[in-house]
Chain A
Amino acid sequence: MNRLLGARRLAPLLVSWEIAPSLVLQFEVEAKLDGSKFIEAEHMLLALATNPDSDAARLLKESGLDHERLTSALNEERHRTLAFAGMNAPDKKLVEATELDNSLSLGTSAKAALRRALIGSRHHRRRARLRSSDLLAGILEAELGTVPRALAIAGIDRAALIGRARGSE
C-alpha cells in the first residue's frame, strides 16, 4: 500500500475492496478544498459524511455528525492547534496558490486508517471487503492526530462510535 501513489492509481484497489469509486474521488475533492497536498484521514471522514445513504454517514449522523458539523469541528481543531503556537489561522487568500493538476497521494494518516479498516474488516472468498463502516472505524481508531482531536473537541464519544461501526451489518 505504501507504494501506491495518487487517488486515481489507488482507485482500482479501493474498488476491489468494494469502496465506491465516487467515494475515492470525494477523498480528493475534500483534500483539495482543504488546500492539502495529501489525502489525510480527516478528508476521508468528510467524504464518508457526504453520502447520506451510506452506513458510515448514518452512524455519524446518529452521533450528531454530518459534513457541516465535522467541518466545524475540524476548523475548531485547527484554530486550537495554531493558538498553541500563538498563531491565528491565516486568511485563506493569503495562502492561495495555483493547484497542481495531479492526483493527490494518500497521506500517512489515511494509509494508517485504511490499514486499520482492513484489519477489522470481514473477508469474502479470501478477499477483503471494506464496508463504509469499516473505513469509518479505521479512521476513528487513531488515538492521536487531527481526527481524534477534532472529535474530542466536539465532545463525541469516539469509542462508542467505533463499537457501532465495527458491529454494524
Chain B
Amino acid sequence: MPPADRSPLDGPADGLAAASALRAMADRLEDAEVERAMRAGWSWSQVAEALGVTRQAVHKKHLRRLLLAQIELRRRSGE
C-alpha cells in the first residue's frame, strides 16, 4: 500500500498502470490479428511463426474463438 498521502496517479502508479494496460491491449490486438490472418487463409504454423510462439500455443489459445467466428481453418496437411 502506498503512503496515505500518495496519489494513485504518481510516477510508479502511472508506470505500473501502463504496463497493465499495454498487456491487455497486446492481448486484444493478438486476438484481432490472429482472426484476421486466419480469415486471410494463413496457416496455424504461419501465425505461430509470426507471433514467435508454438503452433500448439496458438491453437490452444485461439481455436474456440475462430470456430465461433466460423472461419474456415486450414488443415495441417494443407499447410
A residues with a Cβ closer than 8 A to B are 35-37, 77-78, 80-82, 84-85, 87, 90, 94-101, 143-146, 148-149, 152-153
Contact = CB atoms under 8 A, between A and B. Distances in A.
B69 A98 contact: yes
A106 B57 CA distance: 24
Contacts of B69: 97-98
B68 A98 contact: yes
Contact of A149 (B17, B19, B27, B68): B17
5 contacts: A84-B17, A84-B18, A94-B32, A144-B13, A152-B9
A36 B17 contact: no
B51 to A, nearest CB: 14
A23 B66 CA distance: 30
Nearest to B19: A85
B41 interface: no
Contact of B25 (A95, A97, A98, A148): A95
Given A98-B68, A100-B68, A84 B7 contact: no
B14 interface: yes
B2 interface: yes
B2 A144 contact: yes
B66 to A, nearest CB: 8
Contacts of B53: none
Contact of A37 (B22, B27, B32, B64): B27
A133 B14 CA distance: 29
Contacts of B34: 97
Nearest to B1: A143
Contacts of A35: 28
B64 A100 contact: yes
A81 B21 contact: yes
A37 B61 CA distance: 13
B49 interface: no
A146 B17 contact: yes
Contacts of A85: 18-19, 21-22
A78 B20 CA distance: 11
Contacts of A148: 8
A30 B19 CA distance: 22
B65 interface: yes
Contacts of B21: 78, 81-82, 85
Nearest to B15: A84
